[in-house]
Amino acid sequence: MLRKFSNSRSLRDNIQLGVLTAISAGMVNVASLIVFFAFTSNVTGHYAILAEEIARGQWYQVAVVFSWILLFFLGAFLSNFIIINLNRKNAYLAHALPLVLELLCLLTVGTYGQYYYRETLTETEVLVALMLFAMGMQNGLTASISNFAVKTTHLTGLTTDLGILFSMFTQKEYRENAELVGKAKLLCAVAVSYLSAGVLSALLYTHLQFRVFYVVSCVIVVVILYDYSKLRLLKLMRKQDKATESSQEANPQKKEVEEFA
């Protein structure tokens, strides 16, 4: 999921990445809506609130909402900045580091909310800001490494794309286009995962409260460790292959017997 970049990625890679990150985004968005009455996986509504507060002259609220939008922007900026600067040195590290930072943000929200949160306005504003920064990083990561094919923190564009695709599928020539069918599968997988995770988050919150963010963190850990385990396995297999080649070179007669057999 994380090792491959841009056009080298397969449909399966993008679906795996899209499903797991959509689960985390859906859970975070619903949990933040329940706790803070604010959406944190996208900034579409915040732009509307910003415009309203400017019109009303509520400059403190203008500053708060603008800072939320800015932090989402900075999250996406930082994520792609890390990728484009580290990708040639270590693709896995470049793609995993934004998720590690997101994980730290979510753990901070969960820990602070569980032990220290007193439901003050300032605390709420800061925690919402932290989650928007985390979701900005996640969206920047998925969009960047998938060549903008995967965006999992908001579904406005996804729903638009699905509407366009399904209208195209009324024509046989488009239904037989493998690329378009694959894109539809990806978008449907992301939408279903996001919605299912939102429902799960709402159910879990009644029992876990802020600990639901630990569950989201576990999903991020799975994304990080999935490719790490595959990399370790590949390295182990390469070492075994090299050891086998070295053994055969050291015993050429044995190699000839094996080939003859």
| Model pLDDT, residue 170 | 96
With contact defined as beta carbons under 8 Å apart, do 151 and 91 qualify? no
Main-chain phi, psi angles of 118, to 5 degrees: -115, 15
**How many Cα atoms sit within 13 Å of 52 on the Cβ side?**
8
- Beta strand ranges found along the chain (DSSP E): none
Mean pLDDT computed over every residue of the chain: 87
With contact defined as beta carbons under 8 Å apart, do 231 and 127 qualify? no
pLDDT band, very low/low/confident/very high, at 261 (cuts 50, 70, 90): very low
Domains, the chain: 6-260 (1.20.1250)
CA pair distance 119, 125, nearest whole angstrom: 10
Q: From 71, 72, 44, 66, select the one nearest 53 (Cα to Cα).
A: 66
Residues 171-189 have pLDDT tens digits of: 999 999 999 999 999 999 9
Residues 115-174 have pLDDT tens digits of: 999 999 999 999 999 999 999 999 999 988 888 788 888 788 899 999 999 999 999 999
Q: From 81, 188, 100, select the one nearest 144 (Cα to Cα).
A: 81
| Model pLDDT, residue 93 | 86
To 5 degrees, how large is the angle CA 41–CA 46–CA 50? 160
pTM as predicted:
0.85
Q: From 110, 100, 69, 135, select the one nearest 2 (Cα to Cα).
A: 100
CA pair distance 174, 10, nearest whole angstrom: 20
Structure-model confidence comparison of residues 60 and 89, the more confident one: 60
With contact defined as beta carbons under 8 Å apart, do 40 and 29 qualify? yes
Residues 17-66 have pLDDT tens digits of: 899 999 999 999 999 999 999 999 989 999 999 999 999 999 999 999 99
* DSSP structure class, residue 116: T
Give the number of other CB atoms < 10 A from CB of residue 198.
21
| Model pLDDT, residue 260 | 39
Residues 231-250 have pLDDT tens digits of: 555 455 556 656 566 666 66
